[in-house]
Structure 1
Amino acid sequence: MDYIAHIRESDKEIQSVEAHLLGVKALAESFGDKIGVKHIAGLAGMLHDMGKYTHEFKEYIREAVNNPDSPPKRGSVDHSTAGAKLLFQKFHQGVPSRLEWILAEVVGNAIISHHSYLHDFLNPHLESPYLNRVQEKHLDEFERSRQCFFDFVISEMEFQQYVSNALVELEAYLSKPSSENGESKLMFLIKFIFSALIDADRTNTRLFEENKIDEPEQSRKELFDAYYQKLMKKINSYQVQEDAKTAINVLRREMSDQCDQFAEKPSGIYTLSIPTGGGKTLASLRYALQHACRENKQHIIYVVPFTTIIEQNAKEVRKILSDDGHILEHHSNVIDDLNDDDENEDGIINTRQKLKLAKDNWDSPIIFTTMVQFLNVFYAKGSRNIRRLHNLSKSVIIFDEVQKVPVSCVSLFNQALNFLNTYCDSSLILCTATQPALGFVELERKLDMNKDAEIIQNLDRVIKAFKRVEIIDKATDELFDNDKLTDFIAEKMDEVQSVLVILNTKTVVKRLYRQMEVSGVPIYHLSTSMCAAHRNHILGQVREHLNQNEKVICISTQLIEAGVDVSFDCVIRSLAGLDSIAQAAGRCNRHGKREIQQVYVIDHAEENLNHLQEIKIGKKLSKRILIDLKRDQNQHGGNILSAQAMDRYFKEFYTEFSSKLNYFIRKLQKDMTELLMSERKHNTYYQAYLHNKKERLPLCIVNSYRTAAEYFQVIDDQTAAVIVPYDEEGKDIIAQLNGNETIENFSGLLRKAQQFTINLFYHEREQLEQNDGVVSLLDGKILALKETAYSKEYGLDLENDGRFDLSMY
């Protein structure tokens, strides 16, 4: 009897269960092999849909296809428990065998979770959702599934040998020297196996639905070598320019050459502290391409704090490499899948399933993404995020402006990097002019930085040579409001051609922009309320004025300060963390074409920082250092931006937040690190279980993965991505996403939509829904703004009053 895994929408062709299981097994093996766990991942692949070997599932899928308007009742078929149950029965019974029990738990949890998210082994109610599925749940046709699996997929003898191979891999993985404890190692292993399974399952299903065979891509080594040649042609072209011999340009070339030479070293965790304006993007790309060619890496990934840097850097890299198809920008998750459990839609290719199957797995050679998306891969709920994890292995990952790691995520960030370094054969570059103290000995979970980690030699000399601005302290003796600031900006515009003002809150930025008026001077506004395409348009206009040496004022939130390539004559920065002041200074006299220019630090009285604790504390610590320097100009190396000042700032900053570095979950009164990776003796849920039940939980792993994920959000308030109707292209994307597209078309549209998304806080979403400013597409999986809720000046318009006509864009 034929058992069905999927039925193709176009021609009703059937994919058999064994074809699907063996196809997913092969893909999962290839993903797992990257870190030496080929058979562990393959085990998950071959067992994940074993529960489809039932009359019940066969009847269910036929009924669903034949009656699409009245599909079977949700929850009527469970096909993802059987494979995990088989592992539990064969290897998790009787006298505990540590490795066999761990293998059953690691692979079993991935299997039962592959339509939603990883289960807790022990949850806050002192129950085990994992055990409830694999031990307690009764499956009517389990014996049929088991027998079919051994008849059609793999014999029992071959299966036993396969498991033996997996156990060898598990022992090797666990015994590898690492600073992480056993629970941390297992947490990352489970997540990697889950990632491999999710991607293998969706890729195999997509290929079947599209009636395609996955063709092998061009060798990444050949591709990266070709890229390297193009990059060097560009770098060498600078040597024939008139200013090639200036001291600054000679130093830029020296640092670029050092990056090239450093690429010969083994993969590790290194720092690249090129000062602002030192050619960091091209130098880091040179290291990445050279190292990728030498060490056979598969991906080069740039992780940045703000989407503005994605847009700028990706554009620059595309131009040099003359390749658009292999470079991916990933700003945000356009599709909301955090609470999905689509097991009862599996096998039927509807619009929701097409969205799930769309390629969204970071398999591109070069990827630009954000710190939020990087951390979501490891710790956020939803299968779309974690699907990408395995593609972080065998990669060069460059963390641009790494000082912007949110303080609550410092420990989680450090441990993710330690895992990628120790197990995943990835090289990790912390790239910034203001290095945070992530290896600070006082941190409970510090970064395992390589010895002699800095790529650039004689850094103090380099920093001194790149000094192009003077920091003027106007924050310790007086307060500014927008009235006073307006007068000060007008005064500066009498002295210079261009002024950039960076304030800490969108509200005050918007008010100042509305209030600011200087005769004959164009004034521009930038904030994260604008989509990427909109910000690019504004920045393009600003750069045009700057290039023509015309008068211009730009008023922005901090999004402009981290890596955006603009150069103003004067910068005014509202007091914030020392790293923010340094980054703001990097937007002034950026290329050193003028004598020393001024950066003014002010204290703005109208900013409400009560919900921006990191900025509030950073402001306090920076002010303390400014006061020290006012009393004694020889303190802190005699400069607010010295390496000594920056080191002191970050150590004090992390000390101030010491109780939050492990991602404290207020509602549970626990650190997220405890939920994910605490040992039994420190796991309060397990200790409570022992006390209440008077017995040990019959599991090797007792951590709470799903509970942790449910509380994880990189920023304080959870946001949702929404597509905006900016420009005709934005409107077209919204219109097409509301139609019945193929998986391939959905993949392309989701990629294009990255330039046309903003993130809404949930209170903003609620206000827009009340004002009829937002529309749901594709059964609520995608959100889009209506045209009346987006402004050509400010971006998001919560009032949805339709004051601006977007047709001109």
Structure 2
Amino acid sequence: MQTVKEHLTNVSQIAASNGEKIEVGHMTYVAGLLHDSGKLSTKFKDYILQSVNDATYTPKRGSVDHSTAGGKILFEKFHKHNSNVSLRIIVELLCNTIISHHNGLTDFLSPTGTSTYLRRLKDKEIDNFDEIIGDFFNEISSLELLEEKLQHAEVELKSALYRNHQHSKSKDPNITITLLMKYVFSCLIDADRTDARCFDENINSLEQANNGNDFNLYYSRLIRHLDLLNKANTSKSRVDKLRENMSEQCEVFADRPSGIYTLSIPTGGGKTLSSLRYAIKHAIKFNKDRIIYVVPYTSIIEQNAKEVREILKDNKNILEHHSNIIENEDDGPYENNKTYQLARDNWHSPIIFTTMVQFLNTIYSNKTRDIRRFHQLANSIIIFDEVQSVPVKCIALFNESLNFLTNVCNTSILLCTATQPALDFVDKKLDKIDGEVVSNLSEVTKSFKRVEIIDKTKHDGWSTGELVTFINENLNEETRSILIVLNTKTVVKNLYKRLRQTKDAKVYHLSTSMCAAHRSTVLNKIKSALLNKERVVCVSTQLIEAGVNISFECVVRSLSGVDSIAQAAGRCNRHGEVSTKNVYVINHREESLNHLKNIKTGAEITNKILLDKKYGHVKEDLLSPKIMSLYFTNYYTELQNKLEYPIPSLQDNLYELTKGSNKYKEHYRSKSGRDFPLALYSSVKTVGDYFQVIDQKTTSVLVPYGEGADIISELNGELAITELSLVLRRAQHYVVNVYDFELQKLSKSGGLVYLLDDKVIALKENAYDLDFGVSTDEEGKMSTLTI
């Protein structure tokens, strides 16, 4: 059995190593050294002995609190009578990470004007507390060592604040402190889980990837691939030459130091490989730890990761992180959930593909499974693919996270899209954008022109029947492939049902109700049909717009934001096969956008721009950088009251709660009759409780498509930690995120099965359809498509 001293020593050292990446190693060392000091109590020792000797012993959750004691030691020794404000901040920050390391950070001050934090550190009685203090300073550390570490930590705090505020003097330091606390918390959580896993598996330390060697190998393989590609294209098209030129610009740009840069390559311009070339070269030159691709949808992770794996010839170390398969691993005592918690991937890989949801959850969710990855973002390169997809309500929080990562964590940020959002226009803006990779952007955009945008909107809108007629009329010898992108899954499904009766054409359907592996199968079938010059019709939601390397001869796009129209246009004549092809913009009268207010706002602004073009008030092309800037400026102005994540029930916003609300301090004063006694007053737990990137809560459900059925069977058996980790990685391709109302329907119809002590939810076969994916209204058909 591992002793408490061994565990605290190991965790403090691992946490210090994690913290050193951003020069906060003394902070993280103290957090690691104190986090489990409550285990020194006689009561906890008795609890462990009883658990070992009696397999039927199931203590009540929280019956033995071993996390409060470490925070209480620090608080009583270094906060009570200390007038040094910066040292008090350090102690308050560290105490929160220590007392919260099993259940997520707690509020310093809650919206109710109360403080669970203070109750635990000042008022809660700890059994055998004097014994714990004595044993800690006799066996684990000296008071002098803690004092020395905290003095160094004070310097670390001031340095971090200076680095994040040198570009923005008006920035509130409290939001920086909150993000720094989350970083320290991440270091502690990962160190605690890492040491526990090493002990459970009887190894000295987990294998650490030498990413520097990987990047050198990756670079040589990428350059070899590009050279072969260039040699193969002996008769290069205009688009091929432009792609090659921008790839070379990315190579040169990689020599610039860490910062926030934009890469505004037009759609179809080879953004994935160009950004990869920049990232690998930059990682080698500046000794970066990893490259993280953040994409808007799970639908494109598999495609991009597969392409990168094939080029870099590495199937082992390139991680795809789509969703949290285990939804509720934070629930219940740690000892009862240890296997699931230790099995989670903590993003050690050299190249990671993940979603915007997972990126933002890593920083703002209060789940330990998410925040454990935060420190891995430091000293990395983060490429945001289609950055315009940042949810409107998250704009302010997103910008603050990028400022912190760049200024404090030495992270390089690349904002990739053909439709750059005006992130430096909003009130809570990016501190600075250090440059655009493409040197002659206006000329490049004109040179990349491959489509004509044709306004086909009409006063009363288009019905599904009219759209079917229009598609059949335009599907001919001259136009053999058409992509239709609509705003809602319902109209997509209805149109597909009508169109699949079309003679002499293959008709396909794509939506987020299908798992990634399923969508990949359908996309491969579409690509094969396109290659064979067959007649093809594809009906899709907007998931096909971001990063899917596919080219149709005609695109029909339902009215939406200019950025979405531009992305849809990127799937038309993508490789410049002919000079120009048509993209038709229509307005579908059967689409209900009342619950999609941001899409509705974007569509209204686009409609105004189209009207201005119609009457000659606007001369520029709809896809020009000037129109894109105009669109986003109007879009964010229209939605400015939503950019800081408002919570109507609190009459406040999550941005304000992240740094701390003065309103709650007043509430505390009126209730208690005294000033709030802490320097920090952020409501970090409340932020985590309310924060969700997608407006409606979703749950990850494993589906029985293809290998998914085998994975469901494997999760029904007994798996060791390492085996479970591998199975969960494989399962990423066979997951669909379903809304609560869908989950309730599936549960009511008996379409769900629960695995791993109810921690994983899976679908039964009759709840998944090979045309539409997750089926809540009718029995799914698992035989209509050859897998």
Work out whether residues 674 and 683 of structure 1, in 8 Å CA contact, stay in contact via their aligned partners in 2. no
Q: Distance in 2 between matches of 1:70 and 1:738?
A: 25
After superposition, residues 663-702 of structure 1 pair within 5 angstroms as 663-678=645-660, 683-702=662-681
Aligned residues: 781
Query: In 2 relative to 1, CA 248–75 (structure 1 residues): closer, same or farther, beyond 3 Å?
Result: closer
The aligned residue for residue 448 of structure 1 is: 431
Q: Of the candidates 198, 201, 204, which is equivalent to residue 195 of structure 2? A: 204
Structure 1 distance, partners of 2:279, 2:490, is: 39
Moved over 6 A (4+): none
Q: Aligned equivalents of 2:762 and 2:495: distance in 1?
A: 29
Match of 1:421 among 406, 415, 420: 406
- Structure 2 CA distance, aligned partners of 1:314 and 1:803? 29
Offset of 1:74 from its aligned partner? 2.4
Mapping 1:7-406, distance limit 5 Å:
14-178=1-165, 179=168, 180-214=171-205, 216-243=207-234, 245-337=236-328, 340-342=331-333, 345-346=334-335, 350=336, 352-406=337-391
Q: Is the 8 A contact 1:526 1:555 kept in 2?
A: yes
Asked if residue 786 in structure 1 is aligned to residue 768 in structure 2, the reply is: no
Do 2:480 and 2:535's aligned partners in 1 also have CA atoms closer than 8 Å? yes
2:737 match: secondary structure: strand
Instruction: Give the deviation of 1:100 after TM superposition.
Output: 2.0
Aligned-partner Cα distance in 2 for 1:57–1:244: 74
Q: Deviations over 1:310-362 (max 9, x none)?
A: 111101100000001110001111111376252xx43xxx5x31011114211
Distance verdict in 2 for CA 1:636–1:153, change over 3 Å: farther
Partner of 2:685: 706
Residue range with higher mean Cα deviation, 61-70 or 572-581: 61-70
Q: Secondary structure at the match of 2:159?
A: helix
What SS class does the counterpart of residue 585 from structure 2 fall into?
Answer: strand
SS of the counterpart of 2:718? coil
- Corresponding residue SS for 2:436: coil
Which amino acid is the alignment partner of residue 598 of structure 2? Answer: E
- Residue identity opposite 1:719 in structure 2: T
Say yes or no: does 1:508 pair with 2:491. Answer: yes
Q: Is 1:761 the counterpart of 2:748 in the alignment?
A: no
- Secondary structure of 1:739's counterpart equals coil
Q: Which residue of 2 aligns with 1:11?
A: none
Residue 774 in 1 paired to residue 774 in 2? no
Query: Is the Cα contact below 8 Å between 1:318 and 1:327 reproduced in 2?
Result: yes
Which amino acid counterpart does residue 482 of structure 1 have in structure 2? T
Deviates more, 1:331-340 or 1:729-738: 331-340
Letter in 1 for 2:112: H
1:522 aligns with one of 496, 502, 506: 506
Task: Select 1:624's aligned residue among 608, 614, 617.
Answer: 608
Give me the whole-angstrom Cα distance separating, in 1, the residues matched to 2:584 and 2:254.
39
8 A Cα contact 1:63 1:72, kept in partner:
no
Alpha-carbon distance, 1:376 to partner: 0.6
The amino acid of 2:540's aligned partner reads: S
Q: Could you say what secondary structure the match of 2:154 adopts? A: helix
1:723 to partner: Cα distance = 0.5
Q: CA deviation at 1:778?
A: 1.9
Counterpart of 1:136, as a letter, is D
Quick one: distance in 2 between partners of 1:309 and 1:412?
A: 24
Give deviations 1:427-486, integer Å, cap 9, x for gaps.
00000001000011xx221012334x1110111110111111101100145521100000
Q: Tell me the distance in 2 between the aligned counterparts of 1:807 and 1:587.
A: 25
**Take 2:676 and 2:189, find their aligned partners in 1: how far apart are those partners?**
28
Moved more, 214-223 or 302-311: 214-223
User: CA 1:104 to 1:219, structure 2 compared with 1: closer, same or farther past 3 Å?
Assistant: same
Verify the 8 A CA contact 1:773 1:800 in the aligned structure 2.
no
Question: 1:493 maps to what in 2?
Answer: 475
**Structure 2 stretches of 5 or more lacking a match?**
none
Distance 1:687 1:338, change over 3 A: farther
User: Partner of 2:641: helix, strand, or coil?
Assistant: coil
Cα distance in structure 1, aligned partners of 2:449 and 2:127: 74
- Write the letter of the residue equivalent to 1:69: T
- 1:343-390 deviations in Å (ceiling 9; x for gaps): xx43xxx5x310111142111110000001111111113111100000
Structure 1 residue 177: deviation in Å? 4.8
Deviation at 1:561, TM superposition (A): 0.8
1:360 aligned partner, one-letter code: D
In the alignment, which of 446, 449, 456 is matched to residue 464 of structure 1? 446
Q: Is the 8 A contact 1:636 1:642 kept in 2?
A: no
Superposed CA offset, 1:657-678 (max 9, x none) = 1100000012212111111114
In 2: Cα distance, 1:388 partner to 1:488 partner = 49
| C-alpha distance 234-802 of structure 1, shift in aligned 2 (>3 A) | closer
**Aligned partner of 1:21: which letter?**
L
Pick aligned residue for 2:720 from 725, 730, 742: 742
Deviation at 1:555, TM superposition (A): 0.4
**SS of structure 2 residue aligned to 1:313:** helix
Q: Is the 8 A contact 2:344 2:369 kept in 1?
A: no
SS in 2 for 1:659: helix
Any idea what SS the aligned residue of 1:685 has?
Answer: helix
SS at match of 1:448: coil
SS at 2:693 equivalent: coil
1:655 aligns with 2:646: no
For residues 62 and 569 of structure 1, do their structure 2 counterparts lie closer, same or farther at Cα, with a shift above 3 Å needed? Answer: same
| Shift in CA distance, 802/627, structure 1 to aligned 2, threshold 3 Å | closer
Do the aligned residues in 2 keep the contact of 1:502 with 1:557 (CA within 8 Å)?
yes
Please tell me whether the aligned partners of residues 771 and 799 of structure 1 are also in contact (alpha carbons under 8 angstroms).
no
Instruction: Give ranges in structure 1 of 5+ residues lacking alignment.
Output: 1-13
Identity of aligned residues (%): 48
SS of the equivalent of 1:176 reads helix
Partner AA of 2:38 in structure 1: G
CA distance in 2 between counterparts of 1:358 and 1:393 reads 22
CA distance in 2, matches of 1:471, 1:338: 48
> Does the 8 A contact of 2:704 with 2:764 survive in 1?
yes
TM-aligned CA distance change 1:464 to 1:88, over 3 Å:
same
Q: CA deviation at 1:277?
A: 1.3
Distance 1:105 1:337, change over 3 A: farther
Q: Compared with structure 1, are the counterparts of its residues 800 and 482 closer, same or farther at alpha carbon in structure 2 (3 Å cutoff)?
A: closer
Please say if residues 337 and 382 of structure 1, whose CA atoms lie closer than 8 Å, have aligned partners that are also in contact. no
Contact 1:34-1:393 at 8 Å conserved across structures: yes
Aligned equivalent of 2:703, options 702, 724, 749: 724
Supply the AA of the counterpart residue of 2:758: G
The alignment partner of 2:2 has SS state of: strand
Give the equivalent residue in structure 2 for 1:9: none
Give, in angstroms, the shift of residue 799 of structure 1: 3.0
Helix, strand or coil: the match of 2:155? helix
Question: Is the 1:238–1:244 Cα contact (8 Å) retained in structure 2?
Answer: no
Q: Check the 8 A contact 1:121/1:128 in 2, yes or no.
A: yes
